[in-house]
Amino acid sequence: MRIVVQRVTQASVTIDGSIKGQIGLGLLLLAGFTPDDTDEDLKWIAGKVAQLRIFGDSEGKMNLSVQDVQGDMLVISQFTLFANTKKGNRPSYIGAAPPPIAIPLYEKFIVYLEEAFGKKVQTGEFGADMKVALLNDGPVTIVIDSKNKE
């Protein structure tokens, strides 16, 4: 599993002209899955994201988590995180999990994230044509890959 974490002051996802999910201060998460991702991968990233200290404290140092600042999370599925660009100019997505595998992983990840976070998260819709708007704060953008946890 690979996730892009963006610290935001606001973010939203629109599908067919309607807002599906939106948050104020918090984290926008772009989540991609591979066929060999396990429950352990999903739980590890969920715990890591919930505790990630990337918000400023009273001295301006990144010492606070999204929980500490009472922020929210918006999770968007994004298979393109596993694009392979080694050959040619058209990326290959063969490393990304196909929908029958990715959808259950995405749904489980949301459950694990809500457990680690302690509250409901906002989401997009798997496979939909989504328009994501955000105001990146900092900017702070971090990539976490479950294959690099050791």
Helices (H), 1-150: 39-51, 99-117
Are 149 and 31 a contacting pair, CB within 8 Å?
no
What is the spatial distance between Cα 6 and Cα 11, in angstroms, rounded to a whole number?
10
Instruction: Record the tokens describing residue 46, joined without a space.
Output: 């969920």
Alpha helices by DSSP H, listed for 12-130, are: 39-51, 99-117
Catalytic residue among 38, 51, 70, 80: 80
As a whole number of angstroms, the distance between CA 115 and CA 43 comes to 9
Catalytic residue among 6, 33, 55, 79: 79
Candidates 6, 78, 122, 123; catalytic one: 78
**78 in active site:** yes
CA dihedral 18, 22, 28, 34 (to 10 degrees): -50
In single-letter form, the type of residue at position 70 comes to Q
Concerning whether 22 is annotated as a catalytic residue, the answer is no
Active site includes 6? Answer: no
Tell me the catalytic residues: 78-80
